[in-house]
Amino acid sequence: MFKGVISYILLTSSFEYLYATEKTSTTLSDSITQLQLQIKDLQTEINGLKNQNNDNPQKDSSFSTYSSKVLAKSNNKENTFNPYLTKNSITTDTTTYSIKDLEEPYEGVFNTKNGINVEDAPVITSEGHATFIGSYSGNNSIPIGQIPTNLFASTILGQRNKFDNYEIFFGGLITLNAQTWFGDNLKRVNFENEHISNFSANGENIYLMDAALHVLANIGEYVTASYDISSGEEEEFSLNNAFVIFGNTTVSPFFVTVGRSQLSVSTFNGGGPSTASIADYLRVGKATNISLNYKTQALNLSLAAFTNDDKKADFSAGLFYADSLTKDITLGFNTGYVYDLNGAENENISLIAPEKTIGVYNIDSTIAYSLGEGIFQFNTGWATSTKPFDFNATGSDVYTGAWYATANYSLMLRGKSTNFGVSYGQTYNASAIPMLIAGNPIQDGLSKYGIQKQLIFSAQRAFFDEDVIFGPEWAYQKFYDGSIMNTLSLEVSIYL
């Protein structure tokens, strides 16, 4: 390095000498030749230092929050959101999207930087996580607590290169729920399908639904580790997910996950800010699994292998697609399959059909249309059991399932994310399946009879900051025994 400094001093001195003294053309030519040689030597020295640094990379680690590097803007959606986008073709086999000058017309209804990305769209969530079009994409630059659980690994992998190869980053979510309910006394069972005290016909409460902390770390160029712990109203800490991702999308679209994580199978829309979809009783949860995944700008595929509660082999498969069809229309689609719900953290079917091999298949789709100053989205979905069973407790084996339809209009109202939604759904052949009561979200028990119909009206709006979302909701549930329940909720989600 000292040689480089000395060369630089000689170079500067030579220029000063040339400008200060008149020389003959021969002398000037010799000086220029000498300067060229010195410049060449200096460049060689610099290249040598660069190569030395590359051969001995520093593995410095650092700490940061997920949102500080992933979110391009600091909650400035009121100045940037536009329901139109631009789509730029490039010379490769893929297509990229990017935001252009806001004065130019855009194509599409979402910020599609490298695929559908709801970063600049008004926030829409259900139980704290992105829903509608955002639930099909692994490209979302949103707070970590808002990432759809079924595409968590895909989303994290898509953002990993915004962090150093040796860096630890954090994020979190706090969810509160204030409720009042009125209706009929509901018969309940515990998670052993044993009768417990009835759920009161009237009441109110405030719940801490979730307080979750996500800890992630890049370990080199091809490994990312993730785990999260959470607690709720019952003040019990639990380890939800703990897994490792092997891969880097800048090198290959394939990646592998190993550990306990949410199975990337299905997205059940059709719920509200507080209440889950009526098809939630067929939902899969977390499992210790090994999964092979494929990720592109528009498509996510996942195939996972795990074991069920009987220590038998089990597997799942899921497909998620989201892309702009025209300058005004965006489509999202999901289909998924699980061979056996017994090993997939399903707490409904397993109560009445323990040790039975019953799986689930689902289809869910959303179409989004740019309308006025905002976005109108319509969603519909259907899920069914893969084998028949006596789900009505009548002695006859039948297939059970559910369908739902949901509409939502979202916009930036006075500079804050705002949306209004309505959802309706029905189940069939689910009379004897215990289900979650909207007025009892902490799940200290389930309804003895299944939910037959569910209607939800809801709204959401950001207050104080785009990472603080308030969501009022009215949920009407009718059960197979004729009982009804009305629940008024105010859910507050704070993303860290």
Whether 68 and 51 share a structural domain: no
Whether 143 and 27 share a structural domain: no
Whether 46 and 129 share a structural domain: no
Q: What is the pLDDT of residue 337?
A: 97
Tokens 């399932």, residue? Answer: 401
Whether 334 and 250 share a structural domain: yes
If one compares 235 and 351, the residue with the highest pLDDT of the two is 351
Whether 141 and 22 share a structural domain: no
Report residue 142: phi and psi, to 5°: -130, 165
Tokens 């080199």, residue? Answer: 220
Q: What is the pLDDT of residue 51?
A: 60
For 325-341, write each residue's pLDDT tens digit. 988 999 999 999 999 99
Tell me which of 36-50, 81-95, 206-220 is least confident.
81-95
Q: What is the pLDDT of residue 133?
A: 96
Specify the pairing of strand 416-428 against strand 451-462: antiparallel
Q: What is the pLDDT of residue 72?
A: 57
Q: What is the pLDDT of residue 442?
A: 66
Q: How far is CA 199 from the centre of its chain?
A: 33
User: Domain containing 287 — which CATH number?
Assistant: 2.40.160.10
If one compares 407 and 2, the residue with the highest pLDDT of the two is 407
Whether 36 and 107 share a structural domain: no
Distance CA 227, CA 241 (A): 5
Whether 113 and 93 share a structural domain: yes
Whether 79 and 38 share a structural domain: no
Q: How many domains in the chain?
A: 2
Domain range for 326? 64-495
- The pLDDT mean for the chain works out to 84
Greatest mean pLDDT among 42-46, 76-80, 175-179, 231-235 = 175-179
Whether 126 and 34 share a structural domain: no
pLDDT class for 154, splitting at 50, 70, 90?
Answer: very high
* Percent above pLDDT 70 for the chain: 80
For 282-305, write each residue's pLDDT tens digit. 999 899 999 999 999 999 999 999
Whether 177 and 325 share a structural domain: yes
Distance CA 289, CA 19 (A): 73
Whether 255 and 223 share a structural domain: yes
Token pair recorded at residue 367: 């179409």
Query: Is the per-residue pLDDT at 453 higher than 80?
Result: yes
Whether 208 and 229 share a structural domain: yes
pLDDT class for 234, splitting at 50, 70, 90?
Answer: confident
For 466-488, write each residue's pLDDT tens digit. 999 999 999 999 999 999 999 99
If one compares 106 and 149, the residue with the highest pLDDT of the two is 149
H-run or E-run covering 332: strand 329-338
> What one-character-per-residue DSSP string does 55-75 give?
HS-----EEEEHHHHH-SSSS
Q: What is the pLDDT of residue 50?
A: 56
Mean pLDDT of 12-19: 47
